[in-house]
Amino acid sequence: MKNAPVVFFCLVILAVVPASAEGNCTKIDDSSRPDCPQALVFFKRLKLAIKKNDRQSVASMIHYPLLTTAHDKPIHIRNRQQLLSRFNQIFDPEVRCAILDSTEKDVWGNLQGFTIGGGAVWFDGIIPATEKPDLTAPGYWTKYPLKIVTVNNGSSYDCRSRE
């Protein structure tokens, strides 16, 4: 049960992904984050890197430790070397298809981060451990670099390009 909180956290995150057809970064509403433009750029870079199978670029877009699964158990990938050695397992065919099948209209964000592919990948601005975040500070939402924090592999995603 040591990993129960991590599993619960993943399930909570997955439960907040909206069922709507369009994300809130292209169809701006009250729930849209101010850093949506930055998220759309990040998404395009990720999609291109996956399409080209550019593992080094994808590895540079990760915040370590990365939360993911291996053999249906939550694990943390601690560094670039671990990610690259398990790349095909982490970015399994389902996750890759979810990324490649997504468009800018699928980018959706809330206070927990941004997601695409129905929760296949989550990314967010990474605040340095030495800095205390201030949500009211000017530029708060755009000053931190976006990085992938969770890859929910081992699941089945609605992937139109396979149909």
Instruction: Tell me, yes or no, whether 9 lies in a domain.
Output: no
Considering its fold, how many domains does the chain have in total? 1
Lowest mean pLDDT, pick from 30-39, 74-83, 98-107, 150-159: 150-159
Containing domain of residue 115, as a range?
32-162
pLDDT at 21: 57
Lowest mean pLDDT, pick from 87-91, 93-97, 136-140: 136-140
Instruction: Tell me, yes or no, whether 75 lies in a domain.
Output: yes
- Distance of alpha carbon 111 from alpha carbon 94, whole angstroms: 26
Highest mean pLDDT: which range of 43-47, 93-97, 109-113: 43-47
- 1 vs 160 pLDDT, higher one: 160
Give me the chain's average pLDDT, please.
85
> What CATH number is associated with residue 38?
3.10.450
pLDDT at 161: 61
Band of the pLDDT at 31, cuts 50, 70, 90?
confident
